[in-house]
């Protein structure tokens, strides 16, 4: 009993400190269940805990159970001296007590991280069991059981078997060593490199807890626009301190490797991946890292993109570069995640005479200029040339995390190479931390998309979980939206995207609405009508932002540099494909980027069945119409409206949806705690204001080409186009390339 009290005391203090509803506790709130009968039932069923085995991970599981059950039931569970007394048993395959010989768990099916929660009997006494092959599996099962209680599910005869579909489930932090975060909208980096390795902030532990609770098992600590300094010994000692803090929660650390590190910090004259001195340098560096951090995950690499050095600097291929690093970490069990986000000024040579006033049919340079095509062109020819411990990490779409993109044509196009999905949780193009945008519908839209790579049913989920081409290595990455703000993500609903990412990384077939409802119950309330109202808001939010920013397949029309606010008029950026006009190609005829055979022919990078969905402007899924077609302002839409009228209507619908979200949230004032209610209320006000800003700016600009009036029901802008063009986005947080 004293042991449990020692476990509970520091956690109780942490909970009390965070009990103000400031969002710090995320979805791990563990507040007392109001339903007395249910609370008593849980307490009676789980009052004696017995953990078999000793390890930091099992200690973390026991600590979580003590804190969770104490908070939820109001009663501190007791540590059982014997198996017969226990009502909740935790053990692995190798520590199963002899009294449970009749339990038939299929451990072979659970793998490394899977778990089983089951109900059994010991001498006629009902017991709840959490078991797995590994200690981390037991911890994942512990969080799952607590989630069942948090969402008030029956557990009298619980039977759960859960196995992750994807092996490496990783957060990518775009955090810099000076604690700024590229595309970060929730404060500064939570990694305080100045006080590491000697000071371990409680926030690091709670970060690991939160990730373990949703099955995330890896974190890349540093920005893909890498700084070689993190590979020096002094910084590696700091990385080791974080790795040690995370290890009980199954969270491996990874680093970004700057390709020129052998020159910058190694004193070499070259970083050529085929140079033996360079190869030896990376091997020694990997040996040094693994001596400090035996379970170091490996490297994430951005190379030959947006000014980052890479193997092409030395006339080598991406495979040459990736394989050199793969050999360095491979002997230690590490992996390389090589990003496919590559584009270079060289491919823009045909765009020097780009003129946004030309009609699409007069753009003979378009076939060579389309940035959409470059990743596919560079990587498909390398299929089969990568080492077995290399994954090519591909953004969900072919451009850059837009509110809606068609899936990247690389998915399904590299059968001999495992591909990792890269989603963006941080809201670079989605309101930058002030808009309520639940991204699970976006993630699901991509994961469920059919590549037809091996025929019907070859979904992207099957590509990245390895099952489509029988790869044993699989990974998914989410660009973090976490910062130093007390509530982690700035917008309280940003937590929902973090949560949903973890749930979908574990099970890509999970339902976005179910995940939203589960998050709401753990985060805000169990009141049925309120849960329904908030869930409906969340499920509508992604389509709303598409409508008020980039409806009908418009894309990349935001302001320059900071990527904040509308900028469809941007035409003076440093290269053609940084300009909005490059993407929307508005002219007196119409709107949109022709990517069919008569244009850039990017559509040809997809399988014929996918091409068929988008190649005809009259039958094209209108969500992607302007991605693939340059169509007349008078083009007849499925609604019967012209393109212009439909465009205007969609922009208005986006604004109207935000206003409905405001009304829905205001109706919950008596249900939601005052602190978070007023915070979300104010943020929704910002969102409504900026939605109108987007609508007014874009419609006024596009109207200069269409020369058509706004249709009935669309509110007239309250300022002129020149006014909106004059707005300057100064000091936008997180600006930079990615």
The helix (H) or strand (E) run that includes residue 68 is: helix 56-73
Separation of alpha carbons 442 and 428, rounded Å: 14
**Closest C-alpha among 164, 588, 50, 25 to residue 357:** 588
User: DSSP states of 287-332 as a string?
Assistant: HHHHHH-TT--EEEE--SSTT---GGGGT--HHHHHHHHHHHHHTT
Judge contact between 230 and 222, C-beta under 8 A. Answer: yes
Distances (CA, A) of 321 to 133, 280, 374, 544: 36, 14, 18, 42
Which candidate in 306, 327, 383, 675 is catalytic?
306
Residue 428: the pLDDT is 97
Judge contact between 181 and 173, C-beta under 8 A. Answer: yes
Helix/strand/coil (H/E/C) assignment for every residue in 394-412: EECCCCCCCCCCCCCCCCC
Judge contact between 157 and 131, C-beta under 8 A. Answer: no
- Write the DSSP symbol of residue 560: T
Which candidate in 400, 543, 645, 656 is catalytic?
400
Judge contact between 591 and 705, C-beta under 8 A. Answer: yes
Judge contact between 484 and 496, C-beta under 8 A. Answer: no
**Closest C-alpha among 342, 281, 347, 283 to residue 308:** 342
Running along the chain, 738 residues long, what does each successive block of 10 average in pLDDT?
Answer: 47 47 97 96 96 97 98 96 92 89 86 96 89 98 98 96 98 98 97 98 98 98 98 98 98 98 98 98 98 98 94 97 98 98 60 38 48 96 98 98 98 98 98 97 98 98 98 98 98 98 98 98 98 98 98 96 94 91 98 98 98 98 98 98 98 98 98 98 98 98 98 97 92 76
Separation of alpha carbons 398 and 229, rounded Å: 31
Pairing of strands 419-424, 475-479: parallel
Rg of the chain on CA atoms, in Å: 26
Lookup: tokens for 600: 């850039």
CB proximity list for 500: less than 8 A, separation 6 or greater: 438, 439, 440, 443, 512, 515, 516, 519
Residue 340: the pLDDT is 98
**Closest C-alpha among 653, 688, 681, 655 to residue 667:** 681
Separation of alpha carbons 514 and 535, rounded Å: 9
183: left (phi over 0), alpha (psi -120 to 50) or beta: left
- Write the DSSP symbol of residue 53: S
Can 306 be counted among the known catalytic residues? Answer: yes
Lookup: tokens for 426: 């941080």
Residue 738: the pLDDT is 66
Can 428 be counted among the known catalytic residues? Answer: yes
Judge contact between 139 and 99, C-beta under 8 A. Answer: no
CA angle 371, 373, 379 (to 5 degrees): 120
* Prediction pTM value: 0.95
Judge contact between 591 and 584, C-beta under 8 A. Answer: yes
**Closest C-alpha among 88, 229, 225, 217 to residue 146:** 88
Which candidate in 64, 113, 405, 428 is catalytic?
428
Beta bridge pairs of residue 92: 132
Judge contact between 369 and 353, C-beta under 8 A. Answer: no
For tokens 């990490």, what's the residue?
393
Query: What is the separation of C-alpha 670 from the centre of its chain, rounded to a whole number of angstroms?
Result: 32
């Amino acid at each position: 009993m004293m042991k449990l009290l020692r476990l509970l005391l520091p956690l109780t203090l942490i909970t009390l400190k965070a009990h103000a509803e400031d969002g710090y506790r995320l979805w791990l709130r563990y507040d007392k269940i109001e339903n007395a009968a249910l609370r008593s039932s849980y307490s009676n069923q789980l009052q004696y805990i017995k953990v078999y085995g000793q390890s930091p991970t099992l200690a973390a599981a026991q600590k979580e159970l003590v804190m969770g059950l104490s908070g939820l039931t109001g009663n501190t569970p007791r540590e059982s001296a014997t198996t017969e007394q226990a009502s909740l048993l935790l053990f692995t395959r190798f520590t199963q007590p002899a009294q449970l010989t009749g339990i038939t768990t299929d451990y072979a099916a659970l793998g490394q991280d899977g778990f089983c929660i089951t109900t059994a009997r010991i001498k006629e006494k009902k017991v709840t069991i959490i078991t797995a092959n590994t200690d981390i599996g037991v911890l994942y099962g512990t969080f799952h059981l607590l989630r069942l209680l948090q969402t008030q599910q029956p557990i009298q005869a619980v039977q759960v078997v859960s196995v992750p579909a994807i092996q490496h489930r990783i957060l990518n932090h775009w955090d810099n060593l000076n604690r700024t975060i590229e595309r970060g909208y929730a404060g500064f980096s939570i990694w305080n490199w100045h006080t590491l390795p000697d000071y371990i902030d409680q926030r690091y532990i709670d970060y690991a807890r939160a990730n373990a609770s949703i099955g995330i098992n890896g974190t890349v600590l540093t920005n893909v626009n890498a700084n070689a300094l993190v590979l020096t010994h002094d910084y590696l000692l700091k990385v080791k301190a974080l790795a040690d803090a995370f290890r009980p929660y199954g969270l491996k650390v990874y680093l970004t490797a700057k390709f020129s590190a052998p020159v910058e910090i190694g004193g070499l004259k070259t970083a050529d991946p085929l140079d033996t001195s360079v190869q030896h340098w990376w091997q020694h560096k990997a040996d040094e890292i693994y001596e400090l951090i035996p379970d170091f995950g490996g490297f994430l690499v951005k190379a030959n993109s947006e000014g980052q050095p890479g193997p092409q600097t030395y006339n080598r291929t991406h495979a040459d570069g990736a394989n050199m690093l793969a050999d360095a970490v491979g002997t230690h069990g590490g992996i390389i995640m090589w990003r496919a986000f590559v584009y270079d000024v060289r491919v823009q040579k045909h765009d020097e005479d780009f003129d946004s006033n030309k009609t699409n049919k007069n753009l003979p340079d378009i076939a060579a200029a389309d940035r959409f095509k470059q990743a596919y062109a560079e990587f498909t020819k390398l299929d089969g040339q990568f080492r077995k411990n290399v994954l090519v990490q591909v953004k969900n779409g072919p451009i850059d995390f837009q509110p809606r993109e068609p899936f990247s044509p690389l998915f399904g196009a590299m059968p001999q190479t495992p591909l990792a999905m890269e989603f963006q949780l941080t809201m670079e193009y989605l309101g930058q931390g002030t808009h309520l945008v639940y991204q699970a519908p976006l993630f699901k839209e991509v994961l469920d998309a059919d590549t037809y790579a091996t025929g019907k049913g070859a979904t992207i989920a099957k590509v990245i979980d390895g099952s489509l081409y029988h790869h044993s290595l699989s990974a998914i990455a989410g660009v973090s939206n976490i910062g130093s703000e007390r509530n982690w993500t700035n917008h309280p609903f940003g937590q929902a995207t973090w949560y949903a990412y973890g749930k979908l990384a574990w099970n890509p077939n999970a339902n976005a609405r179910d995940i939203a409802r589960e998050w709401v119950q753990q985060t805000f309330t169990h009141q049925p009508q309120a849960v329904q109202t908030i869930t409906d808001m969340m499920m509508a939010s992604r389509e709303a932002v598409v409508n008020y920013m980039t409806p009908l397949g418009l894309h990349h029309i935001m302001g320059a540099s900071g990527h904040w606010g509308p900028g469809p008029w941007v035409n003076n950026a440093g290269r053609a494909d940084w300009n909005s006009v490059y993407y929307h190609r508005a002219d007196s005829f119409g709107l949109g980027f022709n990517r069919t055979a008569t244009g850039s022919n990017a559509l040809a990078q997809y399988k014929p069945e996918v091409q068929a969905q988008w190649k005809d402007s009259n039958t094209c899924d209108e969500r992607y119409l302007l991605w693939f077609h340059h169509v007349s302002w008078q083009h007849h839409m499925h609604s019967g409206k012209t393109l212009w009228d439909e465009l205007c209507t969609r922009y208005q619908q986006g604004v109207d949806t935000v206003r409905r979200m405001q009304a829905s949230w205001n109706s919950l004032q008596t249900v939601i705690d005052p602190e978070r209610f007023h915070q979300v209320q104010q943020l929704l006000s910002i969102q409504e204001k900026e939605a109108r800003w987007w609508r007014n700016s874009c419609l006024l600009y596009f109207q200069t080409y269409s020369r058509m009036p706004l249709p009935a029901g669309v509110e007239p802008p309250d300022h002129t186009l020149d006014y909106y063009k004059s707005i300057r986005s100064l000091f936008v947080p997180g600006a930079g390339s990615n």
